[in-house]
Amino acid sequence: MTEPGPFEGAYFADIYGGDYDARNPRYKHRALLSALRLHQPSGSLLDIGCAYGRFLEVAAEEGGYTLSGCDVSEHAAAIAGERLASRDVRVRQGGVLDDPFPGETFDVITMFDVIEHVDDLEAAFASVKTRLTEGGVFAFSVPVYDGPVGVLVEAMDLDPTHVHKIGRDAWLQHAQDHGFRVLRWMGIMRYFLASRVYLHLQTTTLRRHSPAVLVICAPAR
Ligand SMILES: C[S@@+](CC[C@H](N)C(=O)[O-])C[C@H]1O[C@@H](n2cnc3c(N)ncnc32)[C@H](O)[C@@H]1O
Protein backbone atom coordinates (compact mmCIF):
# COMPACT_ATOMS: atom_id res chain seq x y z
CA MET A 1 0.00 0.00 0.00
CA THR A 2 1.29 3.48 -0.84
CA GLU A 3 2.10 5.64 2.15
CA PRO A 4 -0.05 8.73 2.43
CA GLY A 5 1.75 12.05 2.43
CA PRO A 6 1.49 15.77 1.90
CA PHE A 7 4.06 15.86 -0.91
CA GLU A 8 2.12 17.51 -3.68
CA GLY A 9 2.61 20.60 -5.86
CA ALA A 10 2.34 23.20 -3.09
CA TYR A 11 4.95 21.41 -0.99
CA PHE A 12 7.52 21.47 -3.79
CA ALA A 13 6.74 25.10 -4.66
CA ASP A 14 7.42 25.98 -1.02
CA ILE A 15 10.59 24.03 -0.36
CA TYR A 16 12.22 24.92 -3.66
CA GLY A 17 11.10 28.54 -3.53
CA GLY A 18 9.34 28.03 -6.86
CA ASP A 19 12.63 27.23 -8.63
CA TYR A 20 13.59 23.57 -8.36
CA ASP A 21 16.54 23.81 -10.75
CA ALA A 22 18.10 26.81 -8.98
CA ARG A 23 18.17 24.82 -5.74
CA ASN A 24 19.56 21.83 -7.56
CA PRO A 25 22.59 23.06 -9.50
CA ARG A 26 24.42 20.40 -11.49
CA TYR A 27 27.61 20.76 -9.46
CA LYS A 28 25.73 19.75 -6.29
CA HIS A 29 24.73 16.44 -7.80
CA ARG A 30 28.14 15.92 -9.37
CA ALA A 31 29.67 16.36 -5.91
CA LEU A 32 27.26 13.80 -4.44
CA LEU A 33 28.08 11.39 -7.28
CA SER A 34 31.83 11.82 -6.71
CA ALA A 35 31.41 10.82 -3.08
CA LEU A 36 29.37 7.75 -4.09
CA ARG A 37 31.85 6.66 -6.74
CA LEU A 38 34.58 6.34 -4.11
CA HIS A 39 32.65 3.36 -2.75
CA GLN A 40 30.61 2.01 -5.66
CA PRO A 41 31.70 3.46 -9.02
CA SER A 42 29.19 1.61 -11.20
CA GLY A 43 26.20 -0.70 -11.19
CA SER A 44 22.52 -0.13 -10.49
CA LEU A 45 21.40 2.91 -8.51
CA LEU A 46 18.02 3.64 -6.96
CA ASP A 47 17.28 7.20 -5.83
CA ILE A 48 14.47 7.05 -3.25
CA GLY A 49 12.62 10.34 -2.87
CA CYS A 50 13.89 11.53 -6.24
CA ALA A 51 11.49 14.51 -6.33
CA TYR A 52 11.57 15.99 -9.86
CA GLY A 53 14.56 13.84 -10.81
CA ARG A 54 17.44 16.28 -11.00
CA PHE A 55 19.98 13.97 -9.34
CA LEU A 56 19.02 11.20 -11.75
CA GLU A 57 19.27 13.59 -14.69
CA VAL A 58 22.82 14.59 -13.75
CA ALA A 59 23.76 10.97 -12.98
CA ALA A 60 22.50 10.00 -16.45
CA GLU A 61 24.63 12.73 -18.04
CA GLU A 62 27.69 11.63 -16.09
CA GLY A 63 27.17 7.93 -16.88
CA GLY A 64 28.32 4.81 -15.09
CA TYR A 65 25.11 3.69 -13.39
CA THR A 66 21.88 2.04 -14.47
CA LEU A 67 19.39 4.45 -12.97
CA SER A 68 16.03 4.12 -11.26
CA GLY A 69 14.09 6.50 -9.06
CA CYS A 70 10.97 6.54 -6.96
CA ASP A 71 9.07 9.02 -4.88
CA VAL A 72 6.13 8.64 -2.55
CA SER A 73 4.61 11.66 -4.28
CA GLU A 74 2.54 10.89 -7.35
CA HIS A 75 3.00 14.51 -8.43
CA ALA A 76 6.82 14.40 -8.16
CA ALA A 77 7.15 10.96 -9.74
CA ALA A 78 5.05 12.11 -12.72
CA ILE A 79 7.24 15.18 -13.28
CA ALA A 80 10.46 13.18 -12.84
CA GLY A 81 9.13 10.64 -15.34
CA GLU A 82 8.49 13.40 -17.89
CA ARG A 83 11.87 15.06 -17.33
CA LEU A 84 13.68 11.76 -17.71
CA ALA A 85 11.58 10.36 -20.55
CA SER A 86 14.36 10.76 -23.08
CA ARG A 87 16.93 9.11 -20.83
CA ASP A 88 17.33 5.51 -19.90
CA VAL A 89 15.96 6.03 -16.37
CA ARG A 90 12.97 4.30 -14.78
CA VAL A 91 10.82 6.35 -12.41
CA ARG A 92 7.95 4.94 -10.38
CA GLN A 93 5.69 6.23 -7.69
CA GLY A 94 6.34 4.59 -4.34
CA GLY A 95 7.88 5.25 -0.97
CA VAL A 96 10.78 3.70 0.87
CA LEU A 97 8.38 1.35 2.65
CA ASP A 98 6.66 0.37 -0.59
CA ASP A 99 8.13 -1.90 -3.20
CA PRO A 100 8.08 0.07 -6.45
CA PHE A 101 10.61 -2.28 -8.09
CA PRO A 102 9.46 -5.66 -6.78
CA GLY A 103 12.15 -8.23 -6.23
CA GLU A 104 14.98 -6.00 -7.49
CA THR A 105 18.16 -5.14 -5.63
CA PHE A 106 20.53 -2.23 -6.27
CA ASP A 107 24.25 -1.59 -5.90
CA VAL A 108 23.63 1.94 -4.68
CA ILE A 109 20.60 3.38 -2.91
CA THR A 110 20.40 7.09 -2.24
CA MET A 111 18.02 9.14 -0.11
CA PHE A 112 18.97 12.80 -0.27
CA ASP A 113 16.99 14.84 2.28
CA VAL A 114 14.34 12.15 2.51
CA ILE A 115 14.84 9.84 5.49
CA GLU A 116 14.20 12.62 8.02
CA HIS A 117 10.63 12.64 6.63
CA VAL A 118 10.02 8.98 7.39
CA ASP A 119 8.38 8.25 10.71
CA ASP A 120 9.54 4.66 11.12
CA LEU A 121 13.31 4.76 10.81
CA GLU A 122 13.74 1.12 11.73
CA ALA A 123 11.47 0.10 8.84
CA ALA A 124 13.18 2.55 6.46
CA PHE A 125 16.70 1.26 7.16
CA ALA A 126 15.44 -2.35 7.00
CA SER A 127 13.73 -1.71 3.67
CA VAL A 128 16.90 -0.18 2.19
CA LYS A 129 18.98 -3.06 3.51
CA THR A 130 16.85 -5.70 1.83
CA ARG A 131 17.06 -3.82 -1.49
CA LEU A 132 20.86 -3.65 -1.55
CA THR A 133 23.01 -6.15 -3.40
CA GLU A 134 25.89 -7.85 -1.61
CA GLY A 135 28.54 -5.12 -1.39
CA GLY A 136 25.98 -2.38 -2.07
CA VAL A 137 26.10 1.04 -0.44
CA PHE A 138 23.48 3.36 0.98
CA ALA A 139 23.99 7.13 0.96
CA PHE A 140 21.73 9.57 2.72
CA SER A 141 21.88 13.26 3.44
CA VAL A 142 19.98 14.97 6.24
CA PRO A 143 19.78 18.37 7.88
CA VAL A 144 21.27 18.32 11.39
CA TYR A 145 20.19 20.41 14.33
CA ASP A 146 23.30 20.25 16.49
CA GLY A 147 26.68 21.98 16.22
CA PRO A 148 27.36 25.69 16.02
CA VAL A 149 24.64 26.39 13.43
CA GLY A 150 22.04 23.99 14.84
CA VAL A 151 19.89 26.76 16.24
CA LEU A 152 19.93 28.50 12.86
CA VAL A 153 19.04 25.29 11.04
CA GLU A 154 16.09 24.89 13.38
CA ALA A 155 15.01 28.52 12.95
CA MET A 156 15.24 28.36 9.16
CA ASP A 157 13.58 24.97 8.84
CA LEU A 158 10.15 25.71 7.42
CA ASP A 159 9.45 22.17 6.27
CA PRO A 160 6.53 20.87 8.34
CA THR A 161 7.11 17.32 7.11
CA HIS A 162 10.45 16.90 8.90
CA VAL A 163 9.79 14.24 11.51
CA HIS A 164 13.33 13.73 12.83
CA LYS A 165 15.09 16.91 13.88
CA ILE A 166 18.21 15.42 15.41
CA GLY A 167 21.97 15.83 15.40
CA ARG A 168 24.72 14.18 13.32
CA ASP A 169 25.78 11.70 15.99
CA ALA A 170 22.19 10.55 16.37
CA TRP A 171 22.03 9.80 12.62
CA LEU A 172 25.32 7.92 12.69
CA GLN A 173 24.01 5.96 15.65
CA HIS A 174 20.71 5.22 13.88
CA ALA A 175 22.59 3.83 10.88
CA GLN A 176 24.65 1.58 13.15
CA ASP A 177 21.72 0.55 15.33
CA HIS A 178 19.79 -0.43 12.21
CA GLY A 179 22.41 -2.72 10.76
CA PHE A 180 24.77 -0.50 8.79
CA ARG A 181 28.43 0.34 9.17
CA VAL A 182 29.41 3.87 8.28
CA LEU A 183 32.02 3.97 5.51
CA ARG A 184 32.33 7.74 5.34
CA TRP A 185 30.47 10.78 6.51
CA MET A 186 30.99 14.40 5.66
CA GLY A 187 29.46 17.75 6.31
CA ILE A 188 27.48 19.65 3.72
CA MET A 189 27.78 23.41 3.91
CA ARG A 190 24.74 24.68 2.06
CA TYR A 191 23.21 28.09 1.81
CA PHE A 192 20.89 29.88 -0.53
CA LEU A 193 22.32 33.30 -1.42
CA ALA A 194 20.51 36.26 -2.92
CA SER A 195 17.58 33.94 -3.65
CA ARG A 196 19.34 32.55 -6.77
CA VAL A 197 22.74 31.15 -5.87
CA TYR A 198 22.77 27.82 -4.10
CA LEU A 199 26.00 26.90 -2.35
CA HIS A 200 26.78 23.25 -1.70
CA LEU A 201 30.16 22.24 -0.36
CA GLN A 202 31.00 18.78 0.99
CA THR A 203 33.64 18.84 3.68
CA THR A 204 35.26 16.33 5.98
CA THR A 205 37.24 18.98 7.86
CA LEU A 206 34.16 20.96 8.87
CA ARG A 207 31.78 18.04 9.24
CA ARG A 208 31.05 18.87 12.88
CA HIS A 209 30.09 22.44 11.95
CA SER A 210 27.82 21.95 8.94
CA PRO A 211 24.04 22.36 8.73
CA ALA A 212 23.67 19.00 6.96
CA VAL A 213 25.59 15.75 6.58
CA LEU A 214 26.09 13.08 3.95
CA VAL A 215 26.45 9.55 5.32
CA ILE A 216 27.65 6.65 3.18
CA CYS A 217 27.18 3.25 4.74
CA ALA A 218 26.91 -0.44 3.95
CA PRO A 219 25.06 -3.31 5.58
CA ALA A 220 27.01 -4.72 8.51
CA ARG A 221 26.48 -8.29 7.29
C1 LIG B 1 13.16 17.61 0.64
S2 LIG B 1 12.62 16.65 -0.70
C3 LIG B 1 14.17 16.04 -1.32
C4 LIG B 1 14.06 15.64 -2.74
C5 LIG B 1 15.34 15.22 -3.44
N6 LIG B 1 15.85 13.96 -2.94
C7 LIG B 1 16.37 16.29 -3.35
O8 LIG B 1 17.44 16.05 -2.79
O9 LIG B 1 16.11 17.40 -3.86
C10 LIG B 1 11.91 15.24 0.07
C11 LIG B 1 11.40 14.23 -0.92
O12 LIG B 1 11.14 13.01 -0.25
C13 LIG B 1 9.95 12.47 -0.75
N14 LIG B 1 9.47 11.55 0.29
C15 LIG B 1 8.95 11.83 1.49
N16 LIG B 1 8.66 10.72 2.17
C17 LIG B 1 9.04 9.68 1.40
C18 LIG B 1 9.01 8.27 1.53
N19 LIG B 1 8.52 7.69 2.62
N20 LIG B 1 9.51 7.52 0.53
C21 LIG B 1 10.01 8.10 -0.60
N22 LIG B 1 10.03 9.42 -0.80
C23 LIG B 1 9.57 10.21 0.18
C24 LIG B 1 9.08 13.68 -0.99
O25 LIG B 1 8.01 13.42 -1.84
C26 LIG B 1 10.11 14.63 -1.59
O27 LIG B 1 10.24 14.43 -2.98
Q: Tell me if 15 CB under 6 Å of ligand 1.
A: yes
Angle 26-37/54-62 helices, nearest 10 degrees? 60
The residue ranges of every structural domain in the chain are: 9-219
Flag whether pLDDT at 3 surpasses 60.
Answer: no
In the reported structure, the alpha carbon of residue 220 is separated from the centroid of ligand 1 by a whole-number distance in angstroms of: 25
Quick check: CB of 112 below 6 Å from ligand 1? yes
Report the DSSP beta bridge partners of residue 139: 110, 216
**R_g over Cα of the chain:** 16
* Cβ atoms 116, 164 nearer than 8 A: yes
Sign, Cα dihedral of 42, 45, 47, 53: positive
Q: How far is the CA of 12 from the centre of ligand 1 (A)?
A: 10
CATH topology of domain 9-219: Rossmann fold (3.40.50)
pLDDT tens digits along 96-117: 999 999 999 999 999 999 999 9
Handedness of CA 39, 42, 48, 51 (dihedral sign): positive
Has residue 194 got a pLDDT over 70?
A: no
Beta-strand pair 180-193/197-203: antiparallel
Distance CA 28, CA 31 (A): 5
Give the mutation target among 1, 20, 32, 71 for probing the ligand 1 site: most ligand atoms within 8 A of CB.
71
End-to-end CA distance of the chain: 29
Phi, psi of 40 (to 5 degrees): -150, 90
**16-74 tens-digit pLDDT:** 888 888 889 999 999 999 999 999 999 999 999 999 999 999 999 999 999 999 999 99
Measured from the Cα of 24, ligand 1's closest atom is 9
Q: What length does the chain have?
A: 221
Q: What is the pLDDT of residue 191?
A: 84
